[in-house]
Amino acid sequence: MRPQPAISPASPPPSATPPSRRAASDGLATRLRQDILYCRWVAGQWLKQAELEAHYGVGRSEVRKALAEMLRLGLVVHELNRGYRVTPPDPGRRAEIRATRMALEAAAVDGILAHATPDDVARLRGLAEQFAAAAEEGSFARLVTLNQDFHAALYTLCGNSFLAELIGELRTRGLAGSTGRWTTAPGLRATAREHLAMVEAIAAGDAEGLRGLIRAHIAAF
Amino acid sequence: MRPQPAISPASPPPSATPPSRRAASDGLATRLRQDILYCRWVAGQWLKQAELEAHYGVGRSEVRKALAEMLRLGLVVHELNRGYRVTPPDPGRRAEIRATRMALEAAAVDGILAHATPDDVARLRGLAEQFAAAAEEGSFARLVTLNQDFHAALYTLCGNSFLAELIGELRTRGLAGSTGRWTTAPGLRATAREHLAMVEAIAAGDAEGLRGLIRAHIAAF
DNA sequence: CGGGCCCATATTGACTCCAAAATTGGTACC
DNA sequence: GGTACCAATTTTGGAGTCAATATGGGCCCG
């Protein structure tokens, strides 16, 4: 493999907060995760600790803690005494994660249908409609937030908080190195439609239908 | 909650390696994990960094890295500016992990049956028989190793390495604060029998039977 | 002219030290 | 006698510093 020069990221992360010592206990991990997921750091690129330190205005300790977290999530790879770099896209691994997500999210369906109250359904429908609206005219960041909210609300309903958290983590991991369908308007609309269809399946108590929708939703990414 | 005094662990971890700088990159995390899982550190106890530093003969950095890893695995809880302590047993959480494991391990069954060659079955049978032998007269450590080997070999067969790794991690997490059935001879024998039954189900290509055995195996813990 | 070896350089990773925060024990007061 | 307050101690969390290691270029040799 040809070692790539250690250039700056494609577009310098704009979140260049001045050296303000805020509650950055895991804030850096979140920011770094977002920046990696949205390809602000080029895949395969070396993430030099000093560079991160300067870009995010934090100390070395924070950088290393965040890098360890990214390593855990599989967003970066580590080579001893060489450093960390952004994990290159791996279609095979992503397929494995999708398959695993299908198993987990399908397992959550029964719990969701068992616990969902009319209020829950109404709330989910509201989130799905907000996403649909944002899909027409909304910022990328807002789409991401609404999407996360919808899925978090959905899987929280399953009654198994561990399962819900694990699904959330895998949803993040599976995105590594792919922007999904969100780069095209038709893809966005399809996503929004699927969300709404899921809500209706829940309202109808249709377990098998919901499972199929979820499976398709995962497969489409 | 009444704060417990910070006493020494019930039995001081015997792995008091002298300050030899070996490849302890993640060695401490492994040792610490074992010691927590086997209750060498009392649940709820504060794990003082200086104490760990002295006990394991490593530097502060290693200790903190290992603690972060334990935190990720849910084996310790962290309070800001207070420290880390061994996660108290939480039956509810363990039940959630068991339910999640059932979904994941059941999902692996189809892959296992699809990929298992006669050689694989023979190897699994060998591991299961070694475990059964060790269940009669073997050290606890050997049982742990053989059990891990058996399950690792089993789930590696599913053809989805991500799924296999995730199952392995959840198996570890689910053990937090419980020694399972391995404290009694009948429990050990039952475990060994179930392993052998699983192998036979694979040899017979009995998907539904294998799923049931796995489910029972998880539920029994 | 091509290949291999060696050294300067840059980067990581770990040790050590120090300030900030919380606990704990003691004391004075009600 | 109980309670609230205060100061000393302990412990964490972070930052700075320094040795170990891999790299890349330059030089020498075949």
Calculate what percentage of chain B has a pLDDT beyond 90.
74
Mean pLDDT on A40-62: 92
pLDDT at site A13: 40
Largest Cα separation within chain B, whole Å, is 57
| pLDDT (0 to 100) of residue A21 | 34
Q: From the CA of B207, how many Å to the C1' of D21?
A: 51
Contact B163 A99 (CB under 8 A): yes
Across the range B119-138, mean pLDDT stands at 96
Count of A-B CB contacts under 8 Å: 48
Name the token pair of A115.
């616990």
Predicted confidence at residue B15, as pLDDT, reads 37
Least confident of A93-97, A106-110, A142-146, B159-163: A142-146
Amino acid making up residue B196: L
- Average pLDDT score over residue span B189-215: 97
- Token digits of residue A137: 């005219």
Of B25, B100, B106, the CB nearest to A162: B100
Q: How far A35 CA sits from the closest chain B CA (Å)?
A: 22
Query: What pLDDT does A79 receive?
Result: 93
Residue A91 CA to residue B71 CA, distance in Å, equals 30
Residue A11 clears pLDDT 90, i.e. is over it: no
Ranges in chain A annotated CATH 1.20.120.530: 91-220
Q: Pick the residue with more confidence: B107 or B19?
A: B107
Between the CA of B81 and the C1' of D5, what is the distance in angstroms? 23
On chain A, the residues whose CB falls within 8 A of the CB of B162 are 93, 96-97, 100
This prediction has a pTM of 0.86
For residue A90, what are its two tokens? Answer: 């791996």
Q: How many C-beta neighbours within 10 Å does residue A186 have?
A: 8
Assess whether pLDDT exceeds 70 at residue A158.
yes
Write down the architecture of domain B20-86 according to CATH: Orthogonal Bundle (1.10)
Contact between B52 and B13 under an 8 Å Cβ cutoff? The reply is no
Phi-psi domain of A42 (left: phi exceeds 0; alpha: psi -120 through 50; beta: other): beta
Alpha-helix runs per DSSP H in chain A: 27-37, 49-56, 60-73, 91-115, 118-136, 140-156, 161-174, 185-204, 207-219
Res B176: pLDDT: 77
Question: CA–CA separation, B143 vs B59, rounded Å?
Answer: 31
Rounded to the nearest angstrom, the gap between the alpha carbon of residue A180 and the centroid of all alpha carbons in its chain is 10
Q: State residue A16's pLDDT score.
A: 35
Q: What per-residue confidence (pLDDT) applies to A51? A: 93
User: Is A163 in contact with B100 (CB distance < 8 Å)?
Assistant: yes
pLDDT digits (tens, 9 = 90+) for A112-132: 999 999 999 999 999 999 999
Retrieve residue A214's tokens.
């979820």
Distance from CA(A199) to C1'(D13), angstroms, rounded: 46
DSSP string, B4-63: PP----SS--S----S---S-TTHHHHHHHHHHHTTSS-TT-EE-HHHHHHHHT--HHHH
- The answer to whether the beta carbons of residues B51 and B35 sit under 8 Å apart is no
Q: Does the structure show a pLDDT above 90 at B160?
A: yes
Q: Rounded to whole angstroms, how far apart are CA atoms A70 and A55?
A: 17
Ranges in chain B annotated CATH 1.10.10.10: 20-86
For residue A174, the chain B residue with the least C-alpha distance is B162
Q: How far apart are the first and last CA of chain A?
A: 28
Please check whether strand D approaches the CB of A62 to within 7 Å: yes
Above 50 in pLDDT, residue B178?
Answer: yes
How many CA atoms within 13 Å lie on the side-chain side of A142? 12
> Out of A1-15, A66-80, B28-42, B86-100, which region has the weakest mean confidence (pLDDT)?
A1-15
User: What is the Cα Rg of chain A in Å?
Assistant: 19
Residue A72 has pLDDT above 70, yes or no: yes
Please report how the helices B161-174 and B60-73 are oriented relative to each other, as an axis angle in degrees rounded to 10: 100
Average confidence (pLDDT) over B115-140: 95
Q: Are B79 and B47 a contacting pair, CB within 8 Å?
A: no
Q: How far is B115 from chain A (nearest CA, A)?
A: 16
The arrangement of strands across the sheet holding B46-47 comes to: B46-47, B83-86, B76-79
Is B25 (CB) below 7 Å from strand D? no
Chain CA centroid to CA B169, Å: 8
Task: Locate the DSSP E strands across chain B.
Answer: 46-47, 76-79, 83-86
Predicted confidence (pLDDT) at residue B208 exceeds the cutoff of 90: yes
Q: What is the pLDDT of residue B179?
A: 67
Cross-chain Cβ contact A162/B93 below 8 Å: yes
Could you tell me the two tokens for B115? 């990929």
- pLDDT score recorded for residue A37: 86
Pick from A72, A97, A103: CB nearest B72? A72
Tell the residue number behind the tokens 């494609």, with chain if given: A10
Q: What is the pLDDT of residue A67?
A: 94
Closest partner residue to A103 (CB to CB) among B65, B99, B104 is B104
Give the fold, CATH level 3, of B91-220: Four Helix Bundle (Hemerythrin (Met), subunit A) (1.20.120)
Q: What is the mean pLDDT of chain A?
A: 87
pLDDT tens digit sequence for B22-69: 344 478 999 999 899 888 899 999 999 999 999 999 999 999 999 999
Strand-pair category, A83-86 with B76-79? unpaired
* Average pLDDT for chain B: 87
How do residues B76-97 score in pLDDT, each as one tens digit?
999 999 999 999 989 999 999 9
- Looking at residue A2, its pLDDT comes to 38
Q: Do B162 and A104 touch (CB under 8 A)?
A: no
- Best CA proximity match to A178, nearest among A97, A85, A78: A97
Q: Å from A5 (CA) to C13 (C1')?
A: 22
Place A27 in a pLDDT band, splitting at 50, 70 and 90: confident
- Residue A178 has a pLDDT of 72
